[in-house]
Amino acid sequence: MRLLAPTFAAALVLASAPALATLPVGAKAPDFSTRGAMAGKIVKVHLAEQLRRGPVVLFFFPAAFTGGCNAQANAFSEAQADFRAAGATVIGMSADDVPTLQRFSTEKCAGKFAVASAGPAVVQKYDVALGRQVQGRDVTNRTSYVIDRAGKIVLVHSNLDPAGHVAATLEAVRKLKKV
């Protein structure tokens, strides 16, 4: 009986934890079109259009104006020159509404890249639902995808810790440039 208690407790913990699945490397990135903001201005974000220019770093973050998301947005903002030199476009995405993203794009992203609103269909297609709320809002998992010009996913970095997303995605786009 004593052996069953720890096993049962572990099963409960696993059952209550969200599934953190992602799209696999090699999969075709689902196309989407949504609204977002860049430097406080509302913009249309269409993945297929962005891919015509080169690879895309698509990073999902849980919720604007939270500690980890602020740090991640700032890190991507500081690395924009490196991403541009590698020919990549960076797009941040969350389940936040567009007015929130307008403020976030200016205050935390320094106006250097677009942040877009990921509706339920995009969240489902990219398999980034976290299954919980922050500040009363649904949130996405912190997952970064690098998508090549052909629309194929070449890197998936899924980790709730914001550290490492910029380095991993920048290394992947630099490798694409060498190919």
Q: Tens digit of pLDDT for each residue in 46-78?
A: 999 999 999 999 999 999 999 999 999 999 999
The reported pTM is 0.86
Query: What proportion of the chain, given as a percentage, has pLDDT over 90?
Result: 80
User: In CATH, which of 3.30.70.100, 3.40.30.10, 3.30.1360.120, 3.40.50.2300 is domain 25-178?
Assistant: 3.40.30.10
The domain locations on the chain are: 25-178
Tell me, what DSSP letter sits at residue 117?
E
Q: Report residue 161: phi and psi, to 5°.
A: -75, 120
Would you say 88 and 56 are in contact if contact means Cβ atoms under 8 Å apart?
yes
- For the cut 70, the answer to whether the pLDDT of residue 100 exceeds it is yes
Instruction: Using the predicted structure, report yes or no on whether residue 6 has a pLDDT greater than 60.
Output: no
pLDDT band for position 5 (cuts 50, 70, 90): very low
Q: Among 152, 167, 42, 51, which Cα is nearest to 100's?
A: 42
pLDDT at 17 over 80: no
Cα dihedral value 119, 124, 125, 128, nearest 10: 90
